[in-house]
Amino acid sequence: MSEKRQVPPKSSLERTAKRHGIAVVVVDEAGKQGPAVNDNSICAVLNPNGVLVGRCARDCGRALERATDGNATISYTCHAGLLCRAARFEIDGKPAAVIVGRAFTSSENYRRAANRAMTGDWRDLPASRFFENILILGSDAPIVDALREIKDEAKKQALSPAADSSEAKEIARRAAALNAKKKGTSSGPDPAAWRSFFGSLLGRDYISARNATIEFVARQFEVSSLIWLEERGDRLESTAVSAKLKGRSINVGIDLDDERLAEAAAGEKPVVLGRSPTPEEPDPKRILLFAMPVGDDIPAALVVLDKVPEDARRRAIARFCRAVAPQLEILRLRAEMERRAHLDEVSERLAEGIRELDTRELWRHLARVSADLLQSERASLMTREGSSENFRVKGSVGSLFDLENETAAGERVARIVFERGRPIVVRDAAATGLPPVDKERKYKTASFLSAPIWLGERQLAVINFTDKVTGTPFDGRDLDLVKAIAPQLAAVIDRTQLVERAGELEQLSVTDPLTGLLNRRYMVQRLSEEVKRSNRHGYPMAFVMLDVDHFKSYNDNFGHPAGDEALKIVASVIRETLRDADVAVRFGGEEFAILLPQTTDAEAANIANRVRQNVASTEFPHRKVTVSVGVASCSSEVCAKMDMISAADKALYQAKAEGRDRVVIYQPTEDDLPQE
């Protein structure tokens, strides 16, 4: 016969949830969720007012049905990637499931959820609430312990009130042992300081929380020289230091696939970096690197330059780093969502009305919007004039002088950046050896950022920023923002330069006279540049081919002038549907092509479908017109081993073969790829 357990009171559930850092939820036999304790904010956003809907109803809503045996415990990972455990209990004689966990224990699931929130199907959910209370655990142990604790509490309630009950004593002993295990006995911050610090973190932004963590470790563990490492590509690189190291040049890093780092993340000891002791040098200079894992990922680490000989203190620092890592990763992701939202806003502003601007005002528009993004009072865009060596300011904002007519523009910094082809971020110009700037320029700070704008193999321009509004120096985050908008800047600058240098006759040579779109000649050149850029930097990109369905019959039935008018309408729909950085061309006849720089597979499929749907819903003079669409993404198989145009064309042919008026994504087969 199944054991009947009464759900413990809410105060008991709250203590358990807080102690283990998990959510506790009660779901009744109708699949309705009661008030949740410490609920994961993802669950709260997906289920407004606590009502389980959609896939949540199929996961947590069926927990009681699956835990049919009163003694059974079920474990499952829900559609959001959260690990849960559930068992059968009772409330007022009626069955209910107590679900604990709702936490990430896998970094892969966590990253997938974050991507869904930032660019996927959860993108329209309120971002500010989504990351309010993300629950991340290093393993499933806290979930297992929490459910056992709730079961023990339920047993205690069901027992006779006799104080000397042997079973009650056993339960008390197990609870005390569990608490002792959680508290530990190692040296480190006192529990009150630890709780107070953790409680303050989620009220901060990521940068201030990171800096506060560095200083907390320095103060509580009596170390003073600390370096913070963050994930940059395939390495952890230094991004911040403790107060004692401010102003010093620091360059510490470690590869993410370094076995020592994985070993430190799995246990409770740091990575020891430096030379091993020798008879000649018994005490070499060494540093300690403490991993900060989130699930099975390591997005950050803390380096201690001080000597920490005591094993107990090393273990305490390691435990602290493991405990604080999930909270900081939540803040980092929240900041990333805000950054992406800001970038989307800037991208829209970059595209605002640029077709109506004359070329001179367009350059200024690009400088103005870029300056706003970086919170910079001054910005300028420079290009090299034709075959000459001279630079010219094409657009600027915030300068006290007429930079656009300056004869020696760019000689101090832009030329160096252009010739090296790499960006530079300078905290203090006086420390670089650069020629001093004229005092008449009246710069407010000595920091600046200068970066080249590339399109494939061609360097189009140099963009410069000075005088941050906040008065702080430019840093790597500012450079990341510039890199994020660089593709859009490059696309607009390329078009603008084409108009400026070509003149009407040359412009006609790359423009289709019927539709006004660019032509195949231009696309072939741009596509080659974008493929090289994607291969070099790993940026996503996609290429789309469209064909007007049954166009021959349209011409035969209504005449060639009507066919030409239909092609103009299709071209107009394509132009209005695309983003400003996208490139549309008339490829020939009734075929069109679209280049989608820095666009993922999923985004390309969405854009292609929007074009198809918009054409199908547009009114044409004689009959409905539809298009078939083939999409190819720049993967290693396609970009490296075959032609993007051929790949998209194969997908287009498949779309027509399957009935037309549809989008097909190219999937390479062994027969498509050339033999080695």
Does residue 2 form part of some domain? no
Q: If you average pLDDT over every residue of the chain, what do you get?
A: 82
165, 292: one domain: no
Do 85 and 43 fall within a single domain?
A: yes
Q: Are residues 396 and 538 in the same domain?
A: no
Same domain, 196 and 311: yes
- Structure tokens of 580? 């400003």
What is the predicted pLDDT for the residue at 676? Answer: 44
Task: Give me the CATH number covering residue 418.
Answer: 3.30.450.40
Same domain, 591 and 657: yes
675 pLDDT band, cuts 50/70/90, is very low
Express each pLDDT in 418-436 by its tens digit. Answer: 888 899 998 888 778 787 7
* Residue 59 reports pLDDT greater than 50: yes
Across 213-217, 271-275, 614-618, least confident range? 271-275
User: At 97, is the secondary structure helix, strand, or coil?
Assistant: strand
169 and 277 both lie in a single domain: no
Nearest to 88 by CA among 108, 66, 112: 66
- Answer yes or no: do 322 and 466 share one domain: no
Domain count, the chain: 4
* Domain membership flag for residue 671: no
Considering 307, 340, 373, which residue would you say is the last residue of a domain?
A: 340
- Residue 67, pLDDT > 70, answer yes
Whether 354 is in a domain gets the answer no
Residue 185 reports pLDDT greater than 60:
no
Residue at 50 is within a domain? yes
Q: Are strands 391-397 and 286-294 parallel, antiparallel or unpaired?
A: unpaired
Q: Kindly state the tokens that stand for 53.
A: 């809907």
pLDDT at 156 over 90: no
Decide which of 501, 520, 548 is a domain's last residue. Answer: 501
At residue 449, the pLDDT reads 94
Residue 405: strand, helix, or coil: helix
pLDDT in tens, 532-562: 777 766 678 899 999 999 999 999 999 999 9
Same domain? For 335 and 370 the reply is no
* pLDDT value of residue 358: 65
- The confidence band for 598, taking pLDDT boundaries of 50, 70 and 90, is confident
Residues in Cβ contact with 600 at an 8 Å cutoff, skipping those fewer than 6 apart: 119, 540, 542, 633
pLDDT average, residue stretch 78-82: 93
What CATH number is attached to the domain comprising 602?
Answer: 3.30.70.270
- In this prediction, residue 163 has a pLDDT band, given cuts at 50, 70 and 90, of very low
Hey, is 221 helix, strand or coil? coil
- For 55-106, where are the E strands, in sequence order? 73-77, 83-91, 94-103
Q: For residue 107, is it within any domain?
A: yes
Does residue 347 lie within any of the structural domains?
no
Separation between Cα atoms, residue 231 and residue 210, nearest integer Å: 14
Same domain, 386 and 493: yes
How confident is the model over 385-408, as a mean pLDDT? 75
The two tokens of residue 459 are 């360097």
Judge if 175 and 196 occupy the same domain.
no
Spatial neighbors of 4 by CB under 8 A, at least 6 apart, are 70, 90, 158
Cα-to-chain-centroid distance, residue 161:
55
Provide mean pLDDT across the span 516-520.
Answer: 88
Task: Give the residue-averaged pLDDT of 202-230.
Answer: 90
Q: Which of 183, 210, 240 is the last residue of a domain?
A: 183
Domain around 639: 510-665
Query: Residue 268: what residue type?
Result: E
Higher pLDDT, 417 or 436: 417
CA distances from 241 to 231, 272, 629 (A): 15, 19, 52
Residue 173 pLDDT: 57
Residue 183: pLDDT band by 50, 70, 90 thresholds? very low
Of the ranges 81-85, 91-95, 282-286, 664-668, the best mean pLDDT one: 81-85
Q: 474 and 538 in one domain?
A: no
pLDDT of residue 162: 45
Residues 30 and 87 in one domain: yes
8 A C-beta contact, residue 223 and residue 204: no
Provide the 8-state DSSP code for 314. H
Position 596, amino acid = L
196 domain-assigned: yes
Domain membership of residue 672 (yes or no) is no
